[in-house]
Amino acid sequence: MTRSSRFAEPLLRSNSPLISVCACVLAIGILFGSASLRAGIATAWPQAWRSWRYSREIKPFAENASGLAAIVVPEDVYAHSANQLADLRIVDDQGREVPFVLAVPSGHTHTDRRPVRTHEQSFTPGEFTQFVLDVGANAQFHNAIQVNTPETDFIAWAEVAVSDDARQWRIVCDRAPLFHFNKQNLQGVQTLYYSETNARYIRLRILEGSHRFPMTSVEVLYEVTTPAERVSISIPLAAAQSTNSQESLWRADLPAELPVNEALFETDEPEFSRSVSVESSADGEDWSNAGAGEIYRFHHDDVLREWLRVSFSGGWSPHWRVRVSNGSNSPLAGARVTLYMTPRRLLFRAFPARRYLLLYGQSEAKAPQYDLERTVRVETVLKHPDATLGAEQINNDYQDPRPWSERHPAVLWIAVSVAAALLGLAALRSLANPRPAT
């Protein structure tokens, strides 16, 4: 008999109900403890990577390629990734972990502000408010104007023209919208874009003739933008019933959290201008604002002007809604909405003599940190050939990495229920057999 069993024996022989209950709870604790110990011993000699549930073969991207390769993470990997792609790993055919960079080609914009002075400021009743700007005799290239106004809720149309001598003008931006709806939390548009030019003079007209349009300042910009890469979400938005009769509503319930960041519209409506808001939710019940914008289509001097996309910062959510404010107008004819996201790429060094697997589906894994992230520029990801992925394979030797108690919650609840029942029984026995008064 061990020392611990000799210690427990008198407790087990006691007739005290409380002692009996304690002994039972102690026994349950020993059961859990021994099971956890056995699990700990088993995991002390793990088969490499058996805590990852899924794998996909990375197929060769060239006959004799070496160096950097890129994998586009397909949408179905998001559904089986346990924690927003933090569990992604690449291993070679010897089971060695291969460093990679998780790249998000979301695009970027570099902006330079040009020095400018106001050459003229005027108002023509019934027509427009006009500003003529001078960027100097040796003007640098510019391609945008930012309008700063104290107005918080407005929509107006604007025209931009340029000239070398302030007499002969050529229109470079014809009837573009400016708007901001603070009450609806819509930041709107306050920047007008046009083809780059180094013309000295810029003429801005706000085509609102009822009153002078107030402006605190006008900035001349030169913006260089690398467009973001986008791929459509496979599950479409479906029309839904809205509680607001003056809006149209679409909803999508995705099988996984996806980093959505754009909504693209299609419609047969010939001319319109509508405000749009995008919402996301983790559970499909509580919704939060994800983004907003304006879509429009109209003809001006036989030229079609349209903008049918709403971009936003995005977020990881499985449930999405898109609202279009119709006001007193009819809903957009034949309207369809598609969600888009920026694809993720894995950039790694590959060699022809090696085979590689992409692993995912590990709920306890944390995002890795490799030196490769500091030595390779993310911009290079689009300059290297894309590898392809084979079919998804399930790991037959998979071992759940969660703690034993989380993997067997039913057993834990049974133990708790048994302990509660024993405590109740002990209480009843104490009431039925009270101690004699001393």
The pLDDT tens digits for 328-340 are 999 999 999 999 9
Q: Is residue 178 part of a domain?
A: yes
Domain boundary among 226, 250, 267: 226
Q: What Å distances lie between residue 101 and 30, 111, 246, CA to CA?
A: 46, 27, 46
Predicted local distance difference test score (pLDDT) of residue 341: 94
- Our separate counts of H helices and E strands in the chain read 6, 26
- Of 193, 211, 226, the position where a domain reaches its end is 226
**Domain assignment present for 400:** no
Domain-embedded: residue 333: yes
Q: How far is CA 272 from the centre of its chain?
A: 29
401 in any annotated domain: no
More confident residue, 189 or 258: 258
pLDDT in tens, 166-184: 999 999 998 888 877 766 5
Query: Residue 406: pLDDT above 70?
Result: no
85 and 185 in a single domain? The answer is no
Q: Is the pLDDT reported for residue 255 higher than 80? A: yes
Residue 129 and residue 215 in one domain: yes
The answer to whether residue 168 sits within a structural domain is: yes
For residue 337, tell me if it sits in a domain.
yes
* 381 and 414 in a common domain: no
Residue 294 lies in a domain: yes
* Residues whose CB falls within 8 Å of the CB of residue 185, separated by 6 or more in sequence, listed in order: 277, 289, 292
Q: Which residues contact 284 (CB under 8 A, 6 or more apart)?
A: 253, 318, 319
Residues spanned by the domain of 252: 231-341
Q: How far apart are CA 150 and CA 147, in angstroms?
A: 10
Angle between helices 17-43 and 3-13 (to 10 degrees): 150
- Domain at 172, CATH number: 2.60.120.260
Q: Looking at the structure, do residues 261 and 211 belong to the same domain, yes or no?
A: no
Domain boundary among 171, 204, 226: 226
Domain count, the chain: 4
Tens digits of residue pLDDT in 353-376: 889 999 999 989 999 999 998 887
pLDDT at 265: 97
The predicted model scores a pTM of 0.66
Pairing of strands 117-124, 336-341: unpaired
Tell me: do 366 and 381 sit in the same domain: yes
